[in-house]
Chain A
Amino acid sequence: MQKTAAKSSDAKNAVRIALIGNQNCGKTTLYNALTGKNRRVGNYPGVTVDGESSVIRLDGGECELVDLPGVYSLRPYSAEERVTREYLLRERPDGIINVVDATSPARGLYLTTRVLDLGIPVVLALNMMDEVQARGGRVDACGLEDALGVPVVAISASHGDGTEEVLNAAVKAANDLNSITREPERVGSYARAGAYERPDAVERYDGHVRHGKARRGIKSGGLNAYGGVGADTYSTYAEITGECEDIIYTNAENAGLPPKFAAMLAIEGDGEVLDALALDKNKREALDECVRKLERETGLDAAAASASARYKFVDGICRKYVSQMTKKRFDLDGAALNGALAYPIFALVMALVFWLTFDVVGGRLSELMADACGALSEFAVHLMREANVHPVLIGAVADGVLAGVGAVLSFLPLVVTLFLFLSVLEDTGYMARAAFIMDAPLRRLGLSGKSIVPLLLGFGCSVPAVMASRTLPTERDRRVTVMLVPFMSCGAKIPIYALFASYFFPRKSSLLIFSIYAFGVLLAAVSAAVLKRAMPGSAEAEYVLELPGWRAPTAKNIMRLLRRRAGEFLSRAFGVVLLASVAVWALSSFDPRLRLTYDAEQSILAAAGRILAPVFAPLGFGDWRAASALLTGLSAKEAVIGTLAVLTGEGGIGSVFTRASALSFMSFTLLYTPCAAAVTSIRGELGSAKLAAAALGAGLINAWCVSFFVYRAALLFL
């Protein structure tokens, strides 16, 4: 997580404004527009993986803007949604910008009713108003303002229209409240919320949101806003939740929870909130009585009654202030989701992406980059020799630092190109369609269609792929997906395959490399089937996903994305890979008695390789040089080739491997422990060192066994 908490302490005096909205409502686009930051914005529900914040300078001081994961309510469903609720309750921002997609406002406004329960000043940003107008619809922002009692600003985040206004309105709302109630503590939020209320809004909205101790008298005022048939369920709900709020009021204050919010969730039986409230027996009974009353009078259970009442209120508003759009949205679903065409199209799209990435664009750029790095490194060595720099230092710089930098840079174009294409697919909305059609096959493996995004990202780099698994709804789905990501052969392994394939199988190298990828996917499927039985909990992942509208990808988003992705990869690689590269240089330049050696055979690395070599003998490469190369691969896969080149010297890999053992080595490379950076993120996402160790251990055993069989089979056929 981009430490939102740490950042907020840096900017203590800044007004903190949180962005809240449904998934895919344009929240991150607004955040980007306001901060100018290169954050990835995809047209795939749930791209904001974690909270992120920036400090913006304003005329009258500073404002810290926090982008939170998209949610549909404040009852968390996935790990990333939990981030939103925790932030709102623990950190209590000074103000909230609630982003609502104006093209289908009902769901967004439903969330608004929940956000209002928090008692934090809210400004509503009606996003995509340009599209609403273009399609012949209308949303009355002033009407909504009256009905909800909060400022409403019509915006178009993608064009930057109205974005400044919405931020200013939010800061003003937050400051207005602060100037009225300067409380040192964050408790007592109810009073703060009360102070914020606009006098004219009370009459219309009180029945719904501001229905508490102090204002019991005006409870049915909210009915004016919508009237009609739905009123009964709604007023019953408002009345009963008001009673509950009275019951739990002091407990909520003691627990530091907004009383209104706590009352609503207590009624719906939210375990966490009930625990935090720690109600005594009498209060608990009183609460249960309220719930029974609600259920009796609405004929629904508490959760359904709550959702119904809120949607009735929202529908009332929509009937009054929203006129439907007359023109349809541009839609490719007829083709993309067609029964006969869907899979061929998916296969074609993916083949195109991979071909463009690994051959046409990324592949060529990578070669160019590698050549350029090589030339620069030689030039640097030449300069240092001229300047009479000590040979050890030259070695450290050339074989340690520059080799590491070169490995990273030459691999950068591949990763960036793949992420670029995948992000274009997300931005257009195709990725959500891919999840829809891939759900059935993935489901047979105990996964859900939603796992498609992390798995595809895995072909670029495991680190962001593992992070992307946070959008999955259950712990089990997340864990299984994280464990499968390493099977998707990452971009850093390509040079290894390319070297071996072109050396030992020059005529069939492309086919061979493709087969390795397919082999990885196949083994992932087998492992998933095994995990399905082995992992506790429900054997099936969950799948409920919104299909966002199709959208033309914008150059702005793509350029932003490109910079961001490149930066993300570089910052990781320059940390871990550079360190690893220098370590590998040291290990191969000193002997076990820590004396400098020019003979790699005498080095510490070689000594470790010799100890390990017998383990790999059954796999056909029981050579210390192969073992040493694999050891360096633990730091970064880019290092494997470099180590082999140094250790095999003039003889090349032909002096260590045969055709059969080359195949075995390639499959071992595909399957064994991923690089240090990937291991760190896997450990983080699995949330348990034990589980991570078990997964990695199983991966090693699996790699050994599979390579053993590959070697034996290859001996028979080659």
Chain B
Amino acid sequence: MKMTLDMLKRGEPARVVNVGGEGALRFRLLDLGFVPGTEVKIIRRAPFGDPIEVMLRGYKLTLRQKDAATVEVIKIGGTRGAEDGGKEL
């Protein structure tokens, strides 16, 4: 099964595989740095579970669950956080 950003547990490091979705929002996610290979993790969810706060490339971004679901990710081992720049493989 495909794993998407919204499915990650809090603090679980992962890498972006692909950004799906369409239109302006997809461009925006790409411009914000969601490109294949980028490290990303969920920092927390808002009180109602949506939207979510993620860390990538050393900054914090908040987005909705349904938009996070367009970002396909793959979990990575270890405890290294995404703070260290979100470098490629």
- A residues with CB within 8 A of B: 72-73, 75, 77, 103-104, 106-107, 110, 229-230, 268, 300, 303-304, 306-308, 311-312, 315, 318-319, 322, 324, 333, 337, 339-340, 342-343, 432, 435-437, 439-441, 443, 449, 473-474, 542-547
Contact = CB atoms under 8 A, between A and B. Distances in A.
11 contacts: A72-B28, A73-B27, A73-B31, A303-B27, A315-B87, A319-B87, A337-B44, A436-B51, A543-B51, A544-B29, A547-B53
B63 A543 contact: yes
Given A73-B27, A333-B44, 4 more contacts: A72-B31, A304-B18, A544-B64, A547-B59
Contacts of A340: 47
Interface of B: 18-19, 24-33, 35-38, 43-44, 46-48, 50-51, 53, 57-64, 67, 83-89
A449 B12 CA distance: 26
A439 B53 CA distance: 12
A106 B58 CA distance: 8
A229 B84 contact: no
B20 to A, nearest CB: 10
A298 B15 CA distance: 18
A377 B11 CA distance: 65
Contact of B48 (A77, A106, A318, A440): A440
B28 to A, nearest CB: 5
In the A-B complex, the 4 residue pairs with the closest CB atoms = A307-B30, A104-B58, A440-B48, A73-B31
Nearest to A269: B27
Contacts of B47: 337, 339-340, 342-343, 437, 440
B50 to A, nearest CB: 6
Contacts of B33: 106-107, 110, 311
Interface centre among A312, A340, A440 (most CB of B within 10 A): A440
Nearest to B57: A106
B32 to A, nearest CB: 6
B46 A304 contact: no
A544 B62 contact: yes
A75 B27 CA distance: 8
B24 A77 contact: yes
Given A77-B24, A308-B35, A229 B61 contact: no
B36 A304 contact: yes
A544 B63 contact: yes
B30 to A, nearest CB: 4
A117 to B, nearest CB: 14
Contacts of A339: 47
A542 B32 CA distance: 15
A439 B19 contact: no
A436 B46 contact: yes
Contacts of B57: 104, 106-107
A107 B32 contact: yes
Contacts of A72: 28, 31-32
Contact of A436 (B30, B53, B84): B53
Contacts of B88: 229-230, 312, 315
A440 B51 contact: yes
A519 to B, nearest CB: 25
Given A72-B32, A304-B30, A547 B86 contact: no
A45 B72 CA distance: 26
A439 B35 contact: no
A318 B19 CA distance: 23
A340 to B, nearest CB: 8
Contacts of B83: 324
A546 B28 contact: no
B19 to A, nearest CB: 6
Nearest to B68: A544
Contacts of B48: 440-441
A473 B31 CA distance: 15
A544 B35 contact: no
B74 to A, nearest CB: 16
A333 B36 CA distance: 28
A661 B13 CA distance: 62
A543 B50 CA distance: 11
Nearest to B60: A547
A140 to B, nearest CB: 15
B61 A545 contact: yes
Contact of B28 (A230, A315, A544): A544
B83 to A, nearest CB: 7
Contacts of B32: 72, 107, 544, 546
A546 B51 contact: no
A325 to B, nearest CB: 9
A337 B31 contact: no
